[in-house]
Each structure stands twice: as structure tokens, then as C-alpha cells.
Amino acid sequence: MLGPAMSVEPDGAMRRRAAGADRLTILAVDDERSQLEDLARLLRSSPGVREVECAYGGREALLKASSQPFDAIFLDVRMPDLDGLELARVLRRFAAPPQLVFVSAYDSPAADAFELRALDYLRKPVGRGRVQEAIDRVWAAIEARAEAGDRAARLPGPPADDDREMIAVANLHGGSTRLLARSSILFVQSYGDFVRIVTADGRYLLRCTLAEIERRWEPRGFVRVHRQYVANLRNAVELRPLLGGTAELSFADGQTIPVARRHAGELARRLGV
């Protein structure tokens, strides 16, 4: 069994927590409902935690982690659909990966977990104090990342590019989960409680709203062009004006989407038309 971890929370994190300015958003993952509920309850009891989402298994966790950012993910190791180590390997490919804390009844995967740069490894059954130590480690890692980012921002050089961020989406046929590079997306379409992600190779589902896509991806070239569509302008090839002041945006593979009249003028200006 691993020995107890020492709290390494920095002064800055303690000051922020005391002021209530920032708290963590955490995803708890386990395929056993009772253990997941217990873990979520312990996490929510920490004053440094703002929100805890739950995912019943690795695949659901992957979809949730793709649709919204989490500061940390507390995840079980052995799960039948997508185990914790496999999930962690995927999450490490994200442009801004969450901090990882593994929770398991077994010691054997611990070495693999720390090779994946996990912050901590909790043995079940987990106590409140041990969970708080892990949360302290999350705070320390976030502070260290922020300080490194500040130093990098002061150095000359091109801005960081996270266009390679991988997005976990559900295949429309078969229910499988696929990883897409965000840069490969042509456009996003509203689709009930989901959005439809469209690439040159296929169509996929993501549990998210179109407004969230517009807000989070706008700095990466994604722009609202219609009440039902957000387009990746980096992959658009032509804007064709239509009667009535509307327009049509086309992509290299021949797919097109409508552009509403109220968006057409601004879009033309952005494209230099």
C-alpha cells in the first residue's frame, strides 16, 4: 500500500481558497454507483470544491470531459467499458488535460498511474482526510501550471497552439466513442440535447449546447453563422450570397451550410469578401 501523501498546497492556493475566489470543478468516475456516490460526497465536502460531476464508467467520463473543462478527474482504475488507465492516456492528449487522481481497491496499477503523471493514488475505501490531501495536490499542480504559463507568456515566441486538442464524440451509428482533432471539424449543428459534429469523414454527437461551442471555440475560428450552425472558418472555402441577403458557406468536400441574413455581412467582412 502506498504511504500517506503530504499536503503540498502553496500559499497562493490557500489565499485563493480562503477568499472563496476560485474553487475546483471535478469529475468523479466509477462504474459502481455506491462507491461513486461516496466519492462524490467526500469531494463535495471540501471547501475548495465548487462542483462535482459524476460519470458511470470510462466512456461517459470521456464524453463529459470533452464537452466541458474539469480541473481534476478522480477515476477508478478497473472499469469494464474503458478502464481508468486507458481513459487517462486519452485525456493526456487533450490540449489542457485535467489533473488526474486514481482511486482503486488495488495497488498493482499504481506504477502505471504515476507514469501517466497522476497526482495521487487513493486506496479504497477512501477517507475524508485522504481525499483532502489529493485535493491539496490538485491545487498545487494548478498553481504550478499557472506560474509556468505566466513565465512562458513573458518570453518571446509564437503563441501556444492547441488546435490539436482531441474531442471525444459518439458515433451516430453503433454507439462507439471516437477521438477527433478539433481542427478537422467543418461545422457544428444543433441536434436536440446534443450537437452534431461534422467532419469530411463523418458525423458524430457531443452532449453540449451550440451556445457552449460558440463561446468556448470562438478563439479557434468557430463562428455562429445561423441559429442552428457554428462553422469552422479555417476549413471554409467559399461564401456564396443568396437572394434575400442570406448566404451559403461551403467546404472543400462539397458540404454546405446556410448563413442567416443577420450573420452574412459580418461573415463577409471577416473573410475579406
For residue 4, the model assigns a pLDDT of: 34
pTM over 0.75: no
pLDDT tens readout for residues 182-208 = 889 999 999 887 899 999 888 888 888
**Model confidence at 25: pLDDT above 90:** yes
Query: What is residue 114's predicted lDDT score, i.e. its pLDDT?
Result: 63
Confidence of residue 267 (pLDDT cuts 50, 70, 90): confident
Distance CA 177, CA 106 (A): 27
Residue-range domains of the chain with CATH: 11-153 (3.40.50.2300), 166-271 (2.40.50.1020)
Q: Give the separation between CA 152 and CA 163, rounded to whole angstroms.
A: 18
**Among 31, 47, 28, CA closest to 39:** 28
Q: What is the pLDDT of residue 61?
A: 93
pLDDT of residue 194: 86
Which is higher by pLDDT, 61 or 201? 61
Are 85 and 21 in contact, with CB atoms under 8 Å apart? no
Q: What share of the chain has pLDDT > 70, as a percent?
A: 81
**Pair 122, 134: CB distance under 8 Å:** yes
Tell me: the pLDDT tens digits for 140-196?
A: 888 887 776 554 444 444 444 455 577 777 776 656 677 788 889 999 999 887 899
Residue 94 pLDDT grade (very low, low, confident, very high; cuts 50, 70, 90) = confident
**Residue 87 exposed, middle or buried by CB count within 10 Å (0-12, 13-18, 19+):** buried
Q: Side by side, which strands form the sheet with 247-251?
A: 236-241, 247-251, 256-259
